[in-house]
């Protein structure tokens, strides 16, 4: 039985350039033969959990995942996706109460972890590597890109939906002399963001985006839309429309998928970002129809590969100090998260991830919008 299942996995891997117990860095090293049945029955969830359980290893998980996704193996081994689809259709996984779960489970996991892993400004979104050589440079370039795209000027009032640890708020207040209101559902982010932005014209709130009801000259959202959920896309856009002044600009920075879906990868959903999903282009445009006019759409998804690999390098370098607060299973989980995600952006296939920055206006502009790159 085990031999038959191993043969099935080997057949699936045919054409991917991946071998079981091969000698190359991207080959699977199987420690427990029950892995084959687990992957065939549970798909990506079983593969990820088996790695956390030390059933297999791979020196270059990022390369392994790139090869798997480039060969579209994710379409062939779906595991328990049907139940996830049904559950997503019957329930709203991103209500105000359920939205708090990702804050508690992911963003509140420990500020020491994020301080060690991220850049000096603690920016937990994709960097912009066009002219950057380091993670710090890439993140500052991204923050400046956002400021320029929404045409910030001194004295403006800006809303940052999903403000994280205040990296954009601090940068915009320092460099562009604007007032920033940042909202997040993470208690740990609020605590640290207030410290980092102390002395600046920045207000950090523990608040759901749906409860914001005031006017802003510009609105930005960096890496938060992935937590909104397709059932709430329209409501999200209505909130932004309500809060944006008529002549203002709104920038949406989000990881996205080339194909419309209603659920996330099962392993990512369970261990990293609960109640999350990636939007598609059609889902975004449908949600904005009748509310906004599209001004600009930029894709720099391949930059997320570099960003994730930089985060992984920082994480592994800091692990000797971090491990007093986290166990070995967490180390394998976090390693798998960072490297598999890097692989999804590197694969850049029709079913895989993109990183989009989209600029909207409410009523159009009285002149041509000048795109910034």
Residues annotated catalytic, as ranges: 341
Q: What pairing do the DSSP bridges indicate for beta strands 157-161 and 179-184?
A: parallel
Spatial separation of the C-alpha atoms in residues 9 and 215, rounded to whole Å: 56
Q: Are 280 and 258 in contact (CB under 8 A)?
A: yes
369, two tokens: 């919008």
Spatial separation of the C-alpha atoms in residues 291 and 256, rounded to whole Å: 21
Q: Are 150 and 296 in contact (CB under 8 A)?
A: no
Q: In terms of Cα–Cα distance, which of 297, 299, 304, 284 is closest to 347? A: 304
* CA contacts within 13 A on the Cβ side of 24: 9
Q: Are 170 and 190 in contact (CB under 8 A)?
A: no
* CA contacts within 13 A on the Cβ side of 325: 11
Q: Are 100 and 238 in contact (CB under 8 A)?
A: no
């Amino acid at each position: 039985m085990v031999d038959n299942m191993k043969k099935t996995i080997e057949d699936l891997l045919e054409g991917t350039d991946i071998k079981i117990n091969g000698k190359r860095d991207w080959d699977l090293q199987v420690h427990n033969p029950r892995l084959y049945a687990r992957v065939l029955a549970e798909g990506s969830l079983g593969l990820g959990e088996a790695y956390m359980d030390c059933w297999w290893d791979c020196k270059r998980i990022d390369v392994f995942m790139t090869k798997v996704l480039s060969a579209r193996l994710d379409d062939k081994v779906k595991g328990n996706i049907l139940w996830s689809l049904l559950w997503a259709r019957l329930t709203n996984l991103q209500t105000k109460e359920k939205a708090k779960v990702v804050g508690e489970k992911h963003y509140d996991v420990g500020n020491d972890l994020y301080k060690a892993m991220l850049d000096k400004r603690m920016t937990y979104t994709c960097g912009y590597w066009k002219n950057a050589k380091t993670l710090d440079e890439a993140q500052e370039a991204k923050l400046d890109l956002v400021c320029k795209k929404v045409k910030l000027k001194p004295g403006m009032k800006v809303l940052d939906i999903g403000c994280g640890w205040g990296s954009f708020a601090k940068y915009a207040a320092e460099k562009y002399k604007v007032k920033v209101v940042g909202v997040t559902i993470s208690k740990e982010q609020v605590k640290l963001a207030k410290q980092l932005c102390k002395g600046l014209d920045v207000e950090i709130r523990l608040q759901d985006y749906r409860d914001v009801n005031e006017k802003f000259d510009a609105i930005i959202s960096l890496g938060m839309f992935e937590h909104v959920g397709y059932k709430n896309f329209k409501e999200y856009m209505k909130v932004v429309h309500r809060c944006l002044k008529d002549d203002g600009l709104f920038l949406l920075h989000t990881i996205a998928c080339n194909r419309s879906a209603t659920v996330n990868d099962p392993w990512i959903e369970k261990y990293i970002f609960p109640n999350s999903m990636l939007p598609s282009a059609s889902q975004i445009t449908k949600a904005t129809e009748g509310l906004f006019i599209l001004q600009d759409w930029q894709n720099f998804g391949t930059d997320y590969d570099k960003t994730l690999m930089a985060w992984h390098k920082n994480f592994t370098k800091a692990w000797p100090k971090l491990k007093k607060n986290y166990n070995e299973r967490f180390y394998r989980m976090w390693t798998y998260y960072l490297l598999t995600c890097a692989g999804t952006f590197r694969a850049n296939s029709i079913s895989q991830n993109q990183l989009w920055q989209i600029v909207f206006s409410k009523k159009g502009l009285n002149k041509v919008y000048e795109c910034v790159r």
